[in-house]
Every structure is written in structure tokens, then in C-alpha cells.
Amino acid sequence: MTKKAAIIGGGVIGGGWAARFLLNGWDVAVFDPDPEAERKIGEVLDNARRALPALYDKPLPSEGTLTFHDDLGAALEGAAWVQESVPERLDLKHRIHADLTRLAPADAIIGSSTSGFKPSELNEQGARAIVAHPFNPVYLLPLIELVGDSETCARAAEVLRSVGLYPLTVRKEIDAHIADRFLEAVWREALWLVKDGIATTEEIDEAIRMGFGLRWAQMGLFETYRIAGGEAGMKHFMAQFGPALQWPWTKLMDVPEFTDELVDLIAGQSDEQSGHLSIRQLERLRDDNLVGMMRSLKQSGSGAGGVIRAHEALLAIPQVGDLPVTLDIQVPQTWTDYNGHMNETHYLEAGAKASDCFMEMIGADADYIAGGLSYFTAESHVRYLDETHQGARLQVQTQVLSGQGKKLHLFHTLLSGERTVATVETLLLHVDLGTRRSCPPADHVAAALESYASRHAALPQPEGVGRAVGQRP
């Protein structure tokens, strides 16, 4: 049965929540009096459809149904999750949450996207909300800070993990939760650097993205500093740099006055830095960069990449007739080249990912490899037959040509819609990782492989099998 989420407030954050649930198979009802809400959420969804599936090598669930409502009760009817994302005014949130508590299903989780208010403040007039604070774009960034009733937060965490998010339950309620307190500290210091003429907005952004921002993306703060302490670790780092905390390096307890002059200075520098791009262009640039970094992190399971890997493991592998679908991916921007289409390297990568998936299907999975046995690729032949582009859905169907003894002979057909865009024929050898020499597979792997091989033997041989480079059609 399809679950339903109700999104209250359809701005940037509300639109991101709608996209996250919708693209994970939930029905989504949006309540927002703004006459432009449908257009705005439609544009956020366009970006989300372009970006989120590109993180995965399996297809996300079929999209849910999106509806817009001008009646709050209708939007809330049957909702399992209610997300309030209205402006940061406590009086407004009190009015909204009074209605949500009265009209929402009794078992629905009611979350607030508030950046700074505590649950005790949200609920001081009888509401039952928890804080579920996201980060923009919600459809890509996994962190959700949960604050409030422990039982409700535990239920909320299960839901959030099911749609690919990372719930972080805050131990004690505090103004601005955890992450925004760091952002506020950095923001204050940045304002002083601009006001005092030490750096421009662009120079500050360069300092972050060329340096510690890259480290933080995959290790955070404390693990980064642990490494900075060298072999002696964190104690050495603290002893070496701890005294600097007493030096007047920062102005964290001071806030520069927001005069018209300071606002104009910062706005002018920001326009000079990024004014040549529209907001939608900046959003797409941001999304492409995030997808590229998060896909890289997925390889090691670090940071946000570990969240994607865990979520992807929950997604089903589809089947087309007798052929397993061993890869189903939306082509990310990082797979394209200067010609505007998917680069030749990534056709082979798609074939390699398909081989890895098939190995898992026959039992040659991570545990099997950890036990000292695996398959190595001995030879591959790629045929490039047609173009495919960023955002296109690429599906790989795999046929076993033979699977006796030490050899595994696979033929991967890469499809974009109904078009065959490439084939990858691959010969793999089963290997003992201790001796690095070929050997027969374990019995359970051999039996699973034989089952596929016997079924696929009855299928027509794919066109292109055994071709050599330069051979005429």
C-alpha cells in the first residue's frame, strides 16, 4: 500500500521534502496558499528528477501521486507523515500546529523543518510536533536532525531511512540544534571578514571549497583533526593547537550590525561572484557537484555515500523475461564529456557494475570475497552503438554465455529506452585471493551459475558475440 506524506508549506524546503517522498514512491499532498506553489514545486521536482536517481545504480520506486490542496483537512487525510515548512515565526507555527494536531491522523508523525525552535517551544500550546530539520536540497542531502519525544523520533527515524535519509537524533533540545550552530559560527566570522575588508564573499567561498570543505564532506571535524595530530592522534592535536583557542582569532560572540551599507556590500560582492548565473542554473550546478561527490563517497561508504549505499541495498533488482537487470542507472553529469554524451569509459564502467551485480546474484558477494574467493575480469570487448546523454535512463540486461569451471562468460546489453546503445562482452576467471591464481568456485556459487547458464542456453545468442575490433558487420 502506498504511503502518503502531507507537506505544509511549498517553498524551497517544502518542495525538497515533497520531492524526496514522491521519488521514493510516496503519495504527496501539498498545502500552501501561495498561488505560485504548484509552479515552484514543479521546478524543484524537475531538479530532483534530474539529480536524485543519478546517485543510484538501481531504480528508485515508481513515483507517487502529487496533489495540491487549498483545504488543510483534505491534504492531511490518510497521511502517515506531516512536514511543516512554513516561515520561521513562532506565532505562525503555533497556529499551524494547532490545526495539524486537530486534523492530522492520530498516528501520523508531525515534523517541523524549523532551523532554530525547540520542540518545547513548538508544543507549548498543546501541539505534538517533533523537529525534523533538513538541509537544502532535501532531495539530495541526507541529514535530518530529529529532536523531541523519543518514541516518535524512533518511528520517524525508520521512515526517514526508508527514503534514503540519515536521521540524527539530538540528545537534548537546544536552540538551532547541532549543525546550524556550526553554520551560524562560520557565518558570523564570514560577515566580519567582509565587513573589515579582509576578504570578499568569493574569496571566503574559495577558502571553504578549496580546503576544509572537501575534508568535512567525508570525515567531518573531529576525524579530520585526529589525522592532523599525526601518529600521536587527537591528544597530540589538542596539545599542539589547544592554546590557540585562547588567542583572539575569532569574533564568535560579536555580531556585526546589519546596516544598509553592510547588506549592500555583501549583496554587491555576491552579484559580482555569481550574478552571471540564474538561481536555477546555480541549483543544477550544485546538484551536479553533489551527485559527483556523493557517488564517489558511495564507493568507500564514507559520509553521505554510506547512506546511499545502505538505501540502495533495500531497492529491488528488476528482471526482464529470463534476463536479470544488473544495472539501472540515470546517467549522471560526471559520466558525460565535451561532446555532450556519455563518455566511452563509463560504458565499460556500466558493464563492470553489471558484472559485480551478477556476481552478487550467484553468491560471489562481499562475504564470499572476504572469505578469499572472487572473480577477476580477463578480457572485455565494448561496442559503442548509439549515444546516450545526462539524465537518460540506462539499463543493463545480462546473459550468461557460459559458466563452467573457472570461467564466467557474460554478455551485457546496455539499453536506453528501446535503443541498444552498447554491448559489453566480458570473460571472468574465478580466483583464489590468497594465491592470486585461478581456481574452481565454491559449490554454491557453481550451482547458482549453472542454473543461470542452463536457462540462458535456450536463448538466442546476442548479435555481436565474439566480434573483434574493426570487424565489418
Express each pLDDT in 287-334 by its tens digit. 998 999 999 999 889 889 999 999 999 988 777 778 999 999 999 999
Tally of domains in the chain:
3
pLDDT of residue 258: 77
Same domain for 16 and 82?
Answer: yes
Whether 42 is in a domain gets the answer yes
Give the residue numbers of the binding site for NAD(+).
Answer: 9-14
Residue 137 preceded by cis peptide, ω within 30 = yes
Domain encompassing residue 205: 182-276
Q: Where are the beta strands (DSSP E) in 115-268?
A: 130-133, 143-147, 166-169
Same domain for 129 and 188?
Answer: no
Give the residue numbers of the binding site.
Answer: 9-14
Whether 46 is in a domain gets the answer yes
Whether 305 is in a domain gets the answer no
Whether 468 is in a domain gets the answer no
Same domain for 159 and 224?
Answer: no
pLDDT of residue 124: 97
pLDDT of residue 108: 98
pLDDT of residue 103: 98
Same domain for 130 and 221?
Answer: no
Same domain for 332 and 453?
Answer: yes
Instruction: State the virtual CA torsion across 32, 36, 42, 48 in degrees, nearest 10.
Output: -70
The neighbouring-strand residues paired with 291 are none
Look up residue 470 and give its amino acid.
G
CA–CA–CA angle 367, 53, 2 (5° rounding): 90
Low-confidence residues in the chain, pLDDT < 50? none
Whether 95 is in a domain gets the answer yes
Same domain for 209 and 132?
Answer: no
Write down the pTM of the prediction.
0.84
Whether 450 is in a domain gets the answer yes
pLDDT of residue 222: 87
pLDDT of residue 144: 98
Same domain for 64 and 11?
Answer: yes
pLDDT of residue 163: 98
Q: Which CATH number fits the domain that encloses residue 247?
A: 1.10.1040.10
Q: Which CATH number fits the domain that encloses residue 107?
A: 3.40.50.720
Instruction: State the virtual CA torsion across 147, 148, 153, 156 in degrees, nearest 10.
Output: -70
Same domain for 219 and 263?
Answer: yes
